[in-house]
Structure 1
Amino acid sequence: MHPKYQIDFVKLKVFNKQQPYYDAYHQLISHADAAFNHTTHALADFAVPGYYVHAEMHQKNSAGLQSDAFDAYACALAYHISGDQSKYADQSLRFLKSWADLNTKYSDADGSLVMAYSGTAMVMAGELLLNYNGWAHVDKQKYLIWVQNVYLKASNEIRLRKNNWADWGRLGSILSAHLLDNPQETAENIRLIKSDLFHKIANDGHMPKETARGANGIWYTYFSLAPITAACWIAYQSTGENLFTNYTQGNSSIKQALDYLYYYNLHPNEWQWFVNPNRGTPGSWPGNLLEAMSSIYGDNRYADYAKPARPISYSKHHFAWAFPTLMKVQLGDMH
């Protein structure tokens, strides 16, 4: 998720106190510092019932992984951007170790899905710390076994679904494939993304499986595009294949779907799929996604939407574009 050249680019911007990176860095550090006071929430069995079956238990068990995953990720990123301050790496490892030591399975109706979309940050944190000398070999091996036997298993279990479940499964799977150095699985996830992208994205840019979700159709469109775009970013870093701009079918493309989301989030009264749908904000969703994609596509409309809320971070529920203002993504050379 964060190649060395991107980290070096951001560190230089922060060193030179260049905005919006400098404020975004301090936002990251505030998140990382807060993690020092947080307890861990690992469960032996990550059991998440369906939200509409047992909402309280769904939210409670989900929130524990989400809190730990975000804290692990924020601290691992702070370790790199702050100039290799080991205190942040050690805090990140505290969260990774708690899950690697205790968690052996997921269960119930939503266990695999929530493990996939919240656990992304656990894998990103591990990738960032893979070469950290303070990570004891035995602990690192236990973590990698957890990724293989629990997280990747959950991701692969859902990556053939027809809606956003598959998108989160593929993101989790390609993240894990990169971490575990499995180019065959990286290639398989790219194949899967390409295999049904234009079943997911219609000719006009709407995403039929997501727009059908009633009042939350705009949210679910975002919730599908966030992992699709993050998986495409990892594919680009891993193989050089550019699905952002080089994979289209007729009028259909990832950019067209993003444009559809952008337009109707601004004009929900024109949304044909539901009257008065819920919409997002610049400081939350889809601001985090549009902030990230503004530099991928050079689209100033996306940047202008996000700009009032900078620096943007997304710290709850799911993790694809958690620190988009700080960790700029771009095709080609960073500048």
Structure 2
Amino acid sequence: MTLRKGDKVRTGVTAILPHPGNAYRSRVPAALHVGNGFGKFIGTTQINELGELESPILLTCTLCVWKAADAMVEWMLAQPDMQEVRSLNVVVGETNDGRLNDIRARPITAAAVRTALESAKSGPVQEGSVGAGTGTTAFGWKAGIGTSSRKLPDSLGGFTVGVLVQANFGGVLQVAGAPVGRELDRYAFQNAVAARENTRGLADDRGDGSIIIVIATDAPLSDRNLQRLASRGMMGLGRTGSSASNGSGDYILAFSTAESVRRQFDAARLQTTELANEQMSAVFQASVDAVEESIYNALFMATTETGNGQTVEAIPLDQVRKVLKEHGVEVPVR
């Protein structure tokens, strides 16, 4: 759900439903890895305590996480078979889009959250300046929502790993190892290194910001192996040039959609069939690659945005292609 209102509001809500059914009654195993904990991610302590997800996942702007959580509680309680529920662990993540968005207005409403939840569907996902990525930036350029996936060959299990990111962080951009940020003269600390007056704002110059990474897989994983999978997300993030700066909230939430590890909330005993530890390496590799590519897509699919009295340019794709070619990298740029 994308919210553009007047000259100041540039934000939105992105909803991820773990499966089409009731997320509270049919729970999926889940785990969270914190790369750098400068953030306000609601519902995560219970995830790591119990190893399961019992709600959809919402992403929005920093000062709206509590409003979004309250709205999702109302929405979930109104769903069928929820009349006796007296406790809910809703999950809401955020990044700070206050550069392009009047974040102090806290513009996200319950209606916006309902729209996001009820319009979520399977299939291709809009990327760039949409939903929770409407007002976000990365590496000094406009960013947003990015996605990617990898499907393992049958010889490695045939599993799919999908990733969605809300990119809003800094660093020194690399694309497939090519020093794009340096070549395009836009990177963290450049003003301090050059001993010149800051021209792009202190936050950008320090490389601060945040990213929420959501990894979903149909591989039947325990919450313990999902914790291991989530930790690999930092490797994909690092490939792009992030250093997880002091003011960055870097969170990776991983869950499995496999029926064989699904947990019914009222079951006295659980019998699951899960992937062995020795079969995890290919899933790890797929997640690292997909996280890296999803961040590139968040940048490459974004468009120049003006809001809250500022303009953030989209990364110039023709110049990116030129840098890649000069460094011997042949990577298709959409």
Higher strand share goes to which structure?
Answer: 2
Normalised by the length of structure 2, the TM-score is 0.30
RCO comparison, higher one (Cα < 8 Å, 6+): 2
